Structure 1
Amino acid sequence: MGAAAIAALLVLPNDAARADEGGVSFWIPGFFGSLAAVPAQAPGWSMTSIYYHTSVSAGADVARAREITLGRIPANLTATVNANVKANVDLGLVAGTYTFATPVLGGQASASLLGVYGSNSTSLAGSLTGALTFPGGATVPFSRFDTIDSSLTAFGDLLPMFQMKWNAGVNNYMTYITGDIPVGAYQSDRLANLGLGHWVIDAGGGYTYFDPKTGHEATAVLGFSYNFKNPATQYQSGVDMHLDWGASQFLTKQWQVGLVGYLYQQIGCDSGSGDRVGCFQSRVVGVGPQVGYIFPVGDMQGYLNLKAYGEFANQNRPAGWNVWLTFNLSPAAPTPPTSTRPRFTK
């Protein structure tokens, strides 16, 4: 009886508490921000490093949890499942980008490869309470409480990206395609992972309004993720939609302040023989402040950006808060006699 109860709790982290398999989507909401569509000022190599921290929690959907545990506990047990999942994740992301000097389709092309290293600490506390019913109508109260802790420090998956950007005065446009190469630390029976265990293709486009004279800026980037089936679990997450946005004001040529936000919405149903919850779509919204600073680094140019998000309006997905600290090092722009426009990055 105890083993059956534990099995019921073990299935919760991957299915009941959060949508998208394991509660982890390929796209980290907030990845794009202000000035994302502005072309680079000079071709060549650039480097971006990001420190990302998130702290989230979620409670299990009791009705859905009961559905997925059918068959894993005795048929004569009528029970209610309650669970809470908490996770703290610290990631270091490093991307090398090459911006091509030759225009492509009238725009600026660049190619990047992003790697991930970090830690994931996840805990699950769950209880199973109810009653066993025996022939003749007799009932016996039943309860079980268990906790699971899982921690991991390892490399994550690789993310290649190709971008195209165009500039027309204060209007800037971009399109991108990226994806997930599942080479990171992943085990289907482990609560904490840093890899997805399956391939992903993600593509989208964005727009930035930026007026160097006034310092006004506004950006929005919309994208969609197609998830391939996880061969280890036969679970296929639905199509995800994500909208990242930012709005800022340059107080000087170096200092930038503003707001950032995102909307993440799963628009396709989960599927596959490993899906035991049906169409269990997720959603979360985030918003918060940002500050940026541009400064010279030898004959290069550095850009620091700090942004933070508080999450709300979540459904079938954890919510909490997250912080991004981004440092970009890129070739400094040639300075025409009449230009005072600084080099900006997303």
Structure 2
Amino acid sequence: MRIVKNHRRAALGIVGVLALSAAPRAALADAGGVSFWLPGAFASLTAAPAMPGWAYETIYIHLDQSANAGKNFVIGNRVPGSVVAGLNAHADVLVEGFTYTWAQSVLGGQAAVTFLAAPGNVGVGVDATLTGPRGNTVSGVATDNRNTVSDVFYQGTLKWNQGVNNEMVYIFGNIPSGTYDSSRLANLSFGFTAIDVGGAYTYLNPETGQEFSVLAGVTYNGMNKDLQYQNGIDFHVDWGLSKFVAKNVHVGVAGYYFQQLTGDSGAGAKLGDFKGRVAGIGPQVGFIFPVADGYQGYLNLRGYKDFAAENRPEGWTAWVTFQLSPAAPAATPTKPIVRKY
């Protein structure tokens, strides 16, 4: 069994895978519980090797999260740094990305670069604004909904393969798109630059069909100058466990853990360090299939349910990933040896 996977997201996730990362900015990043790194961006086959050449990936993400009125968040809706009670957000995002994998070895490994962007619809609502940065109080329900575009995201990876063991290091970041609006509740772009670095490991045994992947990384977030707010440093782990029940079909579970390591800072940090945390888990299934001569498709469906959330909204997320990439060359049949006497 030959598995060729080139998985990235988008912080959006990469972001991943990926990647990706295009999450609704309903609240201000870690302060509001929506971080630069979108947990669950990577799952199975994260560090598995890929065929050289160009690959295309599209990822549909549906996100639905909420927090009751007893939870406060810092946002930037016309009153920079204002504190609100209660939050609900949903998003439908379509991440589009291209990856190039080099055939030449780099430091003994396989290098690749990915660029991603995501148009989508974001809807956000808050129960009440409690107080602004100058002590003014505003009450009432506020909502916002718009179609917009995320930042542009880039990711570089370097992979190594030793039999059933595969390792990867990566760097992931964003190029601000200019669509961020500090006066809006609904944003897909961030209003600051960030960089995420980390590594991954994949165990993939073609004989038994067993597969396990784990990715861990840390995120440094820049200052949002409009809101005078800087998120703390984040740590995240994404993982996937699956088994190939057929030559080109694998099923299993995936999950994540996200923890903010250092507190938020800046003049707009009205709630103190406000460290966030969340974990999630859910099922996944993946299919590998031929598409055209020399190309193959990969389709992955998975969903996550949040739990153990602290200083973040919680809910559920659904991912549908399709990737078109070069296929492994077919094995050349061995010709029989014919001896003539």
Q: Report the TM-score range of the alignment, normalised by the length of the smaller protein.
A: 0.7 to 0.9
1:76 maps to what in 2?
Answer: none
Deviation of residue 60 (structure 1)?
Answer: 4.8
Deviation of residue 337 (structure 1)?
Answer: 4.3
Inter-CA distance 59–213: structure 2 relative to 1 (3 Å threshold): same
Q: Which of the numbers 293, 310, 316 marks the counterpart of 1:321?
A: 316
1:264 and 1:283 in contact (8 A); partners too: yes
Amino acid paired to 1:254: N
Q: Which of the numbers 33, 36, 41 marks the counterpart of 2:43?
A: 33
1:20 and 1:270 in contact (8 A); partners too: yes
Q: Is 1:296 paired with 2:290?
A: yes
1:266 and 1:281 in contact (8 A); partners too: yes
Amino acid paired to 2:254: V
1:59 and 1:82 in contact (8 A); partners too: no
Amino acid paired to 1:57: S
Inter-CA distance 304–184: structure 2 relative to 1 (3 Å threshold): farther
Unmatched 5+ stretches in structure 2: 1-25, 75-80, 131-136, 335-341
Q: Is 1:243 paired with 2:237?
A: yes
Q: Distance in 2 between the 1:63 and 1:29 partners?
A: 21
2:27 and 2:34 in contact (8 A); partners too: no
1:214 maps to what in 2?
Answer: 208
2:258 maps to what in 1?
Answer: 264
Deviations 1:153-201 (A, max 9, x none): 0111011110000000100000000101111521112111111000001
Q: Is 1:20 paired with 2:22?
A: no
Q: How does 1:213-232 map to 2 (within 5 A)?
A: 213-232=207-226
TM-score by length of 1: 0.81
SS at match of 2:229: coil
Q: How does 1:26-175 map to 2 (within 5 A)?
A: 26-40=36-50, 42-61=51-70, 83-126=85-128, 146-175=140-169
Deviations 1:124-159 (A, max 9, x none): 11287xxxxxxxxxxxxxx98511110010111011
Q: Distance in 2 between the 1:264 and 1:27 partners?
A: 9
TM-score by length of 2: 0.82
Kindly tell me the number of residue pairs found equivalent between the two proteins: 297
Amino acid paired to 1:199: T
Inter-CA distance 30–338: structure 2 relative to 1 (3 Å threshold): farther
SS at match of 1:102: strand
State which structure, 1 or 2, has the greater radius of gyration over its C-alpha atoms: 1
Q: Distance in 1 between the 2:270 and 2:87 partners?
A: 19
2:304 maps to what in 1?
Answer: 309
Inter-CA distance 256–38: structure 2 relative to 1 (3 Å threshold): same
Identity %: 47
Q: Distance in 2 between the 1:82 and 1:154 partners?
A: 23
Amino acid paired to 2:95: L
2:5 maps to what in 1?
Answer: none
SS at match of 1:176: strand
SS at match of 1:251: strand
1:137 maps to what in 2?
Answer: none
SS at match of 1:103: strand
Q: Is 1:181 paired with 2:193?
A: no
Deviation of residue 231 (structure 1)?
Answer: 1.3
Q: Distance in 1 between the 2:84 and 2:312 partners?
A: 16
Q: Distance in 1 between the 2:163 and 2:237 partners?
A: 24
Q: How does 1:269-280 map to 2 (within 5 A)?
A: 269-280=263-274
Inter-CA distance 287–328: structure 2 relative to 1 (3 Å threshold): same
Amino acid paired to 1:237: N
What RMSD in Å do the two structures reach over aligned CA positions?
A: 2.4
Higher helix share: 1
1:184 and 1:196 in contact (8 A); partners too: no
Q: Distance in 2 between the 1:305 and 1:98 partners?
A: 20
1:33 and 1:245 in contact (8 A); partners too: yes
1:332 maps to what in 2?
Answer: 327
Amino acid paired to 1:178: F
Q: Distance in 1 between the 2:243 and 2:185 partners?
A: 42
Inter-CA distance 221–22: structure 2 relative to 1 (3 Å threshold): same
SS at match of 1:20: helix
Unmatched 5+ stretches in structure 1: 1-12, 66-71, 74-80, 129-142, 340-346
